Chains A and B, each alone.
Chain A
């Protein structure tokens, strides 16, 4: 009896952990692959302008973005200046009004952040702003980086 018990006490009790790093790395790679870093896939090229007197938008959930810049074509080429809201390029400027109006209904304190490429011409921004005025989304923000 005593002999049998001594034997059980000597058996190794720990779970083998040598494979643990492998599991951890597998998880790491899994998350790295699956996590979507950007909420939207940018289809336009945006190079931000710099400014000094900028303010931070603290409440990120109030913000809706409009991207304006040259369209990214294949092979690193750039096309015409286009407007992108969420994931789609806007073909008809008049559609912006309805899109933004719907967003405003969902969030009355909406701030529209205009992320515009620095080399754009102002005409397209004027068009977008007119649409925003029609939609009633009057709070806007020109997205800029801090000038150092």
Chain B
């Protein structure tokens, strides 16, 4: 009885190819998974106006940025370098009524962006990037002052984040395109 047991091979499934299967799965998922995360600059387009006059905006609360066909940036009709845009937007938004030519409160400040039909897209994005950067810096500063943590570390949709957003709402307006 004992002798017979010793002679019998232990029944087992050959596991040497398990590694192969694992590698197969690994390679399969490596190939299939797209690591490409969607990143970009988010924006909300204005709705089509329904014959209602838009509420009047005081001149000082409006910052006009025009990117023309030559890829030149004009802030309130004055040519400006793209690198300058960020500081200009920051000064404009965070003025709090100090300078009579700039916005009254960050809440009232509107950045209006206008383009031409022949505006190069990459210049437009560079400019938009700077405007977004200005808001990001302002929000970061406000968050550091209030909560002592960077804005990017705030939890999404938390009260703190909403509060900072309330302080510096992104009022970016895409101007109606010219006809023709």
Contact = CB atoms under 8 A, between A and B. Distances in A.
Interface of A: 5-6, 9, 13-15, 17, 20-21, 24, 27-28, 31-32, 35, 37, 49, 51-57, 60, 63, 111, 113-114, 116-123, 125-126, 129-130, 132-134, 136, 138-146
Nearest to B43: A140
Tell me the dominant secondary structure on chain A's binding face. mixed
Interface residues of B, number: 48
A15 B117 CA distance: 71
B173 interface: no
Contact of B39 (A6, A27, A143): A143
A141 B117 contact: no
Given A31-B28, A123-B117, A134-B48, A143 B122 contact: no
Interface of B: 4, 7-9, 11, 14, 16-17, 20-21, 23-24, 27-28, 31-32, 34, 37-48, 67, 115-122, 124-126, 128-129, 132-133, 136, 174, 177
A64 B78 CA distance: 37
B180 to A, nearest CB: 10
A132 B45 contact: yes
B121 A129 contact: no
B26 to A, nearest CB: 10
Given A6-B7, A21-B17, A122-B115, A138 B45 contact: yes
Contacts of A125: 121
Given A32-B31, A123-B117, A53 B17 contact: no
Nearest to B124: A122
Nearest to A111: B42
B39 A55 contact: yes
A141 B40 contact: yes
A111 B38 CA distance: 12
B38 A146 contact: no
B100 to A, nearest CB: 29
A131 to B, nearest CB: 10
A6 B147 CA distance: 81
A24 B20 contact: yes
A140 B42 contact: yes
B41 A54 contact: yes
A17 B38 contact: no
23 contacts: A9-B7, A13-B9, A17-B17, A24-B24, A49-B125, A49-B126, A51-B40, A51-B125, A51-B128, A53-B129, A54-B40, A55-B41, A117-B121, A121-B119, A122-B115, A122-B117, A122-B120, A126-B177, A133-B47, A139-B42, A139-B44, A140-B42, A143-B39
Interface centre among A52, A116, A145 (most CB of B within 10 A): A52
Given A24-B17, A51-B40, A140-B45, 14 more contacts: A5-B4, A51-B41, A54-B41, A57-B40, A114-B40, A118-B122, A122-B116, A125-B121, A126-B115, A140-B43, A141-B40, A141-B41, A142-B128, A144-B129
